[in-house]
Amino acid sequence: MGADHTVSARSADASGGTAVSDYPTAPLPLQQAPRRRRKKTRRWLYVIIALVMLLALLVIADRAAAAYAENKMATQIQSQGFSSKPNVSIQGFPFLTQVIGHDLHNVTISSAGVSEGPVDIKNIDANLQGVHLNSSFSGGTVDHVSGTALITFGDLLGASGGPNVTVTAVHGDEVTFNVDLAIISGSATARVTQVGDNKIHVQVISADGLPTSLLGSLADFTVTVPTLPLNMTVQSVKVSAQGVLVHVTGENVSFSQ
């Protein structure tokens, strides 16, 4: 009987049946990711890091070059009529591509305390468009200059040579001020307008508490603004709370060191 059972078991196995083993099967090993893929990922990471660092260095170099050029240009512009070195800011990025082409698209300048003849200008803010540098970068030309110059009421009214005044109100093109003449005091309102090229006219149109005749030259006077830096000329005037804002412009202006 034992022999017959063995034979039948073998016959069943040989005939294609499934034989179940009594021995435990070993677990299949886990598949690991190929090492080549990891190496490629690290390689791309290094490339990206290198590109970021290179870009950062280029930006730093560009800004450093712009700062150097701004300082040099400020020195060149100062010699065109500014009493002190103005602040210069070159707009646009990148800067180096503009230098290669010798063309700066947009430059802003600002300067304080500009003394021009009978009046002192508190500050000038201007925008230079189309700055073309010469081959040696020692100067150039500007297509168009536009900006504002601020003249305080104290400087403007003081230019008349009349009594000292204190501004109390501003409305439209009119300014109201108090006048103290020691023996008498009162207030007056004057209109500020542009008359002719580079001329500002101040005329008292009403007075309260004192006759206009006592105001002397302050009652009606004209101030001529001399040639401004970069050959800027007066286009219009506007009364503001800070003083008289003078709109100035210039065309085809040259500058050099």
Q: Which of 149, 177, 206 is the last residue of a domain?
A: 149
Residue 108 lies in a domain: yes
Pair (126, 83) in one structural domain: yes
Please state, in angstroms and rounded to a whole number, the distance separating the CA atoms of residues 66 and 91.
9
Task: Provide the β-strand partners of residue 129.
Answer: 106, 144
Pair (177, 202) in one structural domain: yes
Range of the domain at 198: 151-249
- The mean pLDDT of the chain is 79
Please state, in angstroms and rounded to a whole number, the distance separating the CA atoms of residues 54 and 235.
48
Q: How many domains does one find in the chain?
A: 2
**Residue 38: pLDDT over 60:** yes
Pair (162, 240) in one structural domain: yes
pLDDT per residue over 56-103, tens digit each?
888 888 788 888 888 888 887 787 777 778 888 888 788 888 878 888
Burial 4-17 (b: 16+ CB within 10 A, else e): eeeeeeeeeeeeee
Residue 121 lies in a domain: yes
Q: Which residue has the tokens 């020195």?
A: 75
Pair (85, 156) in one structural domain: no
Pair (141, 157) in one structural domain: no
Pair (136, 173) in one structural domain: no
Residues 6+ apart with CB under 8 A from 229: 77, 80, 81, 82, 111, 114, 124
Pair (62, 143) in one structural domain: yes
Residue 50 lies in a domain: no
Q: What is the pTM of this model?
A: 0.68
Residue 65 lies in a domain: yes
Q: Which of 124, 149, 174 is the last residue of a domain?
A: 149
Residue 167 lies in a domain: yes
146 pLDDT band (50/70/90 cuts)?
very high
Q: Which residue has the tokens 């600002």?
A: 110
Q: Which of 81, 114, 149 is the last residue of a domain?
A: 149
Residue 30 lies in a domain: no
Angle at the Cα of 248 from the Cα atoms of 199 and 217, rounded to 5 degrees: 25
Residue 109 lies in a domain: yes
Pair (142, 207) in one structural domain: no
Pair (139, 156) in one structural domain: no
pLDDT for position 3: 46
